[in-house]
């Protein structure tokens, strides 16, 4: 599934999410893709966001136009695979 570096990076990111004690938290996974880095992580609620509807996200949107969730509605934000796809990253208001 992953090249060696990708597998190590995936494990490091998942370990970081686990270190945030996600069991009772709401996680939003921006640019979730398939598989999503948050798949299989026990949490109160997971919201997958992606621009590609074929990845079956909970929310389909262009992150450069904003994220359609209420302020302070999530506890953990994961954005592991999006920065290289955002053209105007200095203009984004999260």
Mind listing the pLDDT tens digit for each residue in 33-53?
A: 999 999 999 999 999 999 999
The pLDDT score that the predictor gives to residue 45 is 98
**How confident is the model over 56-83, as pLDDT tens digits?**
999 999 888 888 999 999 999 998 877 6
The set of residues, in sequence order, having a beta carbon less than 8 Å from that of 76 and lying 6+ positions away, is 17, 20, 22, 25, 26, 27, 28, 43
The pLDDT score that the predictor gives to residue 14 is 95
The pLDDT score that the predictor gives to residue 85 is 62
The set of residues, in sequence order, having a beta carbon less than 8 Å from that of 28 and lying 6+ positions away, is 46, 47, 49, 67, 69, 74, 76, 77, 78
8 compared with 81, residue with greater pLDDT: 8
Q: What is the pTM of this model?
A: 0.82
């Amino acid at each position: 599934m992953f090249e060696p570096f990708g597998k190590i990076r995936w494990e490091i990111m998942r370990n970081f999410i686990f270190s945030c004690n996600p069991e009772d938290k709401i996680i939003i996974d921006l640019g979730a893709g398939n598989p999503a880095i948050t798949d299989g992580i026990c949490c109160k609620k997971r919201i997958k966001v992606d621009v590609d509807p074929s990845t079956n996200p909970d929310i389909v949107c262009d992150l450069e136009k904003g994220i359609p969730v209420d302020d302070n509605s999530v506890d953990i934000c994961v954005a592991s695979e999006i920065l290289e796809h955002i053209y105007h990253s200095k203009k984004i208001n999260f």
